[in-house]
Structure 1
């Protein structure tokens, strides 16, 4: 691939919980972003992170392999994962940040109405509340590794190893991560054979349809 090579991490408020990991060149980024927005998505993508890399093919392939277990479709570049997890790996490569350049292209191609619609979708999305999701107090959530569980204590809290905390905090402890590590906990826990993320997205879709 010729030109300045870029690997990007995109999100879209119309597809909560999904991340797109792809590559392009600086010369082709405008055409690529237009192509993505014309594939049936209702609002433009957000560039969570983009960076210049020496070989985008190798970097993209490595990321797709690393997160292959959460890939939605082998023919698509969408993954059910938190964008911060992908970004943290890219930053370990000491890459050159190109986020603003890609985001500027997206904003330039989108109409004012497109951007307002995207912002409106972000603002409308409510925070997760166990009671609203019909996950009763006292319910047990099982971690996907099968070795950990938490008990729902309140609308937004759980009990993990005898301590009441947020689900995010409990997930960090299970994974041995620092307290300030950014992550989205809902994909890691299940209730009645569905992940908390799936339950939330079903509930949110119903709200959107009203």
Structure 2
């Protein structure tokens, strides 16, 4: 069916599933595989994709959607990335103020994107979220003495930066600027937005994650003012 995309999960190989679907449907022409992705929780991912694309669904009982293939792939990749954060890096509980929180650890991801640029004393970076706030939480550790103790003396400092000062561009110019990291979003979504939507210069200007030398490089290479000159 030209213009329609079937989106679903399978425990078999995509090629086996394609051949299986092409035989009994009566559709004039075989299915073609446009994109495939592995997920550790494929049924949850499938459900979230179907909810996200519900307005494009041609039938409530079928997995066919009338949507541009590039848009569908973009949404699938985003939802898959967020689900991966949830199942590999998420923690939750009740904090020292008796607020429930959810958090996603992103230091490993930051180090892979910015090798040798994150300050070495930083031991953890999390997107940390309560019901009304979304924070960037950093944990720093400084070793004080390692000479006479089996376990070195160390100071730890945990700092939570409220990300409400970072706003997005509104669809309507007369509207108030929307929060980029809205606490009503899933914490996995805000973690992905921090990694993917903030460029190096934005992170440099809004946080204290980078070393002094890395900051100089980022300011030189990514500062929009420098690019104009």
Bucket of the pairwise TM-score, normalised by the shorter protein: 0.3 to 0.5
TM-score normalised by structure 2 residue count: 0.32
The structure whose Rg is larger is 2
